[in-house]
Structure 1
């Protein structure tokens, strides 16, 4: 609730923002990011960052100009009531309703704000105003997920949904017509947090790890009832895309937690192996509800050997990183490059300025996974560097021919810039900085929404 995490108190609309540098003409669309921004908290001591009402922050780029910036709360019923507005109503799952705060994606012509745990996504319009809860024309069997993957080949949407209230794990596929065409219910003991998943050309990877729902857990406040369960086996499930629940192969792995895989793909050597790049935590919520315990999250490569039934782990970086991304055209396919937020290692700064927050983004890392090298672009030790989204220069451009877009705190203004970097040279001067009139609080995930697909 303090520092760069503090919620903003008003919705803002600004036009024709000042720009340092030159916005590429090819960037024709909107960069939109989601994140928690509670309008009011009854008990700040019990508040957990993950539980704040979602607010979208968007910048419209066109013709080399920054046409507008908007921030808008997602109008769940509770949020609409707090704002004194008419309730939108709409479908519900288990009477659950929440203003999604985790991600935003466009699919089948609709812009959707996403969250996990059993709530429905919410549709918003081109100017980020809420349309209402969305259930894919009544075909969504439960909630959706915080993370979805759109297959670049079929253009279908895939996700793994779970629910804490009525325990289930479901692999879902939504066709390009906007209707759920496939559902696989996967039996999983307990109520694990399955924040994300991985998709390859032929398989779905399920992360069944020792962070579980437990409202009575020691040190866990009522607003975020997940804990580390010592002794619970950690395992990776491998489901053929067209398989059923009985076809899942569960492979034992060392205890850990994974919020965010970068990408996964089948190897091209005929060995049947799967390669996954991801950010791994040794433990999470073991000592309390505020964040990682022990070693910081690091980038690893997991090689899944289905013939031997083993998963080989290889650490790729000792630096703390999170929020990994790739060129969206390479999802499910072999990729050379990846990007992540570099987290501050200055524990004294974190403790003094932001008690209870483990790490804050201070820069971006570009990984060359083929050569095993990396480049770092640092911004500020005070944090406030958000997830970097890659936008290709064109449909046939090379894998790193494009731009990285990220929100970065500008401490001299106590506001935020939308920073545009050339992906081939992230250490150079930014291509452009769009100077927003307000601070964008530290948040979660976003996407580039082009005007033309």
Structure 2
């Protein structure tokens, strides 16, 4: 009950603990959820999304959103119905102890933390992901924690918040970092679930590499001015922020190369939190991403921050140039594409239209669909007081056209005071949801998710 009082009373003092960001205190299971509209019969699987949700906050004034333990929220869709909603904390050692449960068996590396950023199905394992040196944790089909996962003993360190599964090979690619390492680590895991390749790329100054980009032949490394500094009082508690003296550069690593093959290209100072996709043709690499002029520089308070804008970068590794083109003046984040188009040319992309200002309620005032070939954008706006999270594209069938499918996202409904799972037709995003699955609770503002299709 003490945490409830803290959460209710500290929203103004710490916005990460109030309003739509306030953590939930219970794990629930709800079945046969009410639906407005019609869930497409082809949607057979689970929509899962991860995000920070602290079990207990020792010092509310010092809490930051990135530090909350992970909680996965999921909805199962099948045969035109929403059969269940579940939310479950990821049981790291600390979470298990706080909940009065036994610590799970399994490997431990340098850092143990309940992953709070992403969720990914790979090689038969449902993995929750986080950066900074921690292992992923595996969940079962009901979202209960199986334990930490080290790719059958082959993962040399931690994993990463973002991974790319190459549609051509089925292999998983990631770029991992840890503030204690003098390098970042490019990882490739085979379809057997074992890491078959890792490349340690030396870097200085402990850069934060939240995301990376992958093409058919190259890996893009974003070595930018956001970096970690070890706390002088507690060296085990590094903090990150904008370093104006740190140069910005883009690394181009051949997928089968080693560290000495990286071509580093100087770019203007900026930060890339999330990239949409990258591909290459005739020696040029094209990447679409959300670019910040600055981030984590201490000039803004609470949830207020500089905007990111969708840009197209054209990278010429031979000439050593990076040409930038802004595609939209709206503030955007959480860019995504059809997962079948990862590493390849794509026409469409999806993003969240972000609000700006310290008093913003959540992360999204609308969902966006970009036609990158025509240079147009469609938007579905949320109602006043609402919020929408990352949109995940789900194809209508394995061989369907690139935008023949649906965009799934959690959205807060201010009239109900609870969250809906939205199902929007990708070909007519602006028309609004074809179905709303009404969850019985509010899902706090979260990070990333994925659609996990049923196997049968």
Q: Which interval holds the TM-score relative to the shorter structure?
A: over 0.9
Matched residues in 1 for 2:238 and 2:385: separation? 27
The offset of 1:190, in angstroms, is: 1.2
Matched residues in 2 for 1:155 and 1:44: separation? 43
In structure 1, what is the equivalent of residue 9 of structure 2? none
Question: Does 1:362 find its partner at 2:362?
Answer: no
Matches for 1:271-290 after TM superposition, within 5 Å: 272-287=283-298
Partner secondary structure for residue 126 of structure 1: coil
CA spacing shift, 1:22–1:292, aligned 2, 3 Å: closer
In structure 2, what is the equivalent of residue 417 of structure 1? 420
Is the Cα contact below 8 Å between 1:279 and 1:324 reproduced in 2? yes
The offset of 1:383, in angstroms, is: 4.3
In structure 2, what is the equivalent of residue 304 of structure 1? 315
Partner secondary structure for residue 86 of structure 1: coil
In structure 2, what is the equivalent of residue 26 of structure 1? 42
Is the Cα contact below 8 Å between 2:408 and 2:423 reproduced in 1? yes
Question: Does 1:153 find its partner at 2:165?
Answer: no
In structure 1, what is the equivalent of residue 400 of structure 2? 397
Superimposed CA distance per residue, residues 318-347 of structure 1 (whole angstroms, 9 cap, x where no aligned partner): 0001000000000000000000001124x3
CA spacing shift, 1:36–1:290, aligned 2, 3 Å: farther
In structure 1, what is the equivalent of residue 384 of structure 2? 381
The offset of 1:46, in angstroms, is: 0.8
Q: Structure 1 runs of 4+ off > 3 angstroms?
A: 288-295
In structure 2, what is the equivalent of residue 372 of structure 1? 375
Task: Select 1:442's aligned residue among 431, 440, 445.
Answer: 445
Q: Provide the aligned C-alpha RMSD in A.
A: 1.9
In structure 2, what is the equivalent of residue 239 of structure 1? 253
In structure 1, what is the equivalent of residue 342 of structure 2? 331
Matched residues in 2 for 1:28 and 1:162: separation? 35
Question: Does 1:429 find its partner at 2:432?
Answer: yes
In structure 2, what is the equivalent of residue 71 of structure 1? 87
Greater displacement, 158-167 / 370-379: 158-167
In structure 1, what is the equivalent of residue 270 of structure 2? 256
Matches for 1:171-320 after TM superposition, within 5 Å: 171-216=186-231, 225-267=239-281, 270=282, 272-287=283-298, 295-320=306-331
Partner secondary structure for residue 258 of structure 1: strand
Partner secondary structure for residue 344 of structure 2: coil
Partner secondary structure for residue 50 of structure 1: helix
TM normalised by structure 1 equals: 0.94
Is the Cα contact below 8 Å between 1:50 and 1:224 reproduced in 2? no
CA spacing shift, 1:291–1:179, aligned 2, 3 Å: farther
Is the Cα contact below 8 Å between 1:281 and 1:292 reproduced in 2? no
Is the Cα contact below 8 Å between 1:389 and 1:448 reproduced in 2? yes
TM normalised by structure 2 equals: 0.93
Matched residues in 1 for 2:231 and 2:419: separation? 38
Greater displacement, 84-93 / 123-132: 84-93
In structure 2, what is the equivalent of residue 54 of structure 1? 70
CA spacing shift, 1:444–1:249, aligned 2, 3 Å: same
Question: Does 1:125 find its partner at 2:140?
Answer: yes
Is the Cα contact below 8 Å between 1:51 and 1:224 reproduced in 2? no
Superimposed CA distance per residue, residues 330-383 of structure 1 (whole angstroms, 9 cap, x where no aligned partner): 0000000000001124x3xx43x66xxxx6211101000000000010013334
Matched residues in 2 for 1:372 and 1:266: separation? 19
The offset of 1:215, in angstroms, is: 3.6
Partner secondary structure for residue 263 of structure 1: strand
Q: How many residues of Structure 1 are paired with residues of Structure 2 in the alignment?
A: 440
Matched residues in 2 for 1:444 and 1:295: separation? 18
Superimposed CA distance per residue, residues 199-244 of structure 1 (whole angstroms, 9 cap, x where no aligned partner): 0000000000011111449xxxx97710111121100000001001
The offset of 1:167, in angstroms, is: 3.6
Partner secondary structure for residue 259 of structure 1: strand
Partner secondary structure for residue 45 of structure 1: helix
Is the Cα contact below 8 Å between 1:48 and 1:223 reproduced in 2? no
